[in-house]
Amino acid sequence: MKEKDDIGGRKSKNEQIEGYLQERYDFRFNTVKSKPEFRPRNENHPFSPVTKFDLNSLKREMDRTIGISTSS
């Protein structure tokens, strides 16, 4: 289900966050370990579990690069 655009045709904060992450990272759910994993997009790195440290790093990265302040 697609979220509605804000007034003026801007994307919602969630759409901006999802777009940013989809452009830069690959995500998958490891069904054996029952954990989400990620890796940088278009790189041949193995998938890594998403840790609290990774989540905080992604939040800081988005705040620094595209000015999206995420709530904790």
Give the pTM. Answer: 0.75
Outline where DSSP puts E strands in the chain: 25-30, 35-40, 48-49
Can you tell me whether residue 32 is helix, strand or coil? Answer: coil
At 40 the pLDDT is 96
Helix axes 13-24, 52-66, angle to 10 degrees: 110
At 7 the pLDDT is 54
At 1 the pLDDT is 46
Q: What is the residue-level pLDDT of the chain in tens, covering all 72 positions?
A: 454 555 567 888 889 999 999 999 999 999 999 999 999 999 999 999 999 999 999 999 999 988 888 765
69, 63 contact by CB (below 8 A): yes
Helix, strand, coil abundance in the chain, percent, nearest 5: 40, 20, 45
At 11 the pLDDT is 84
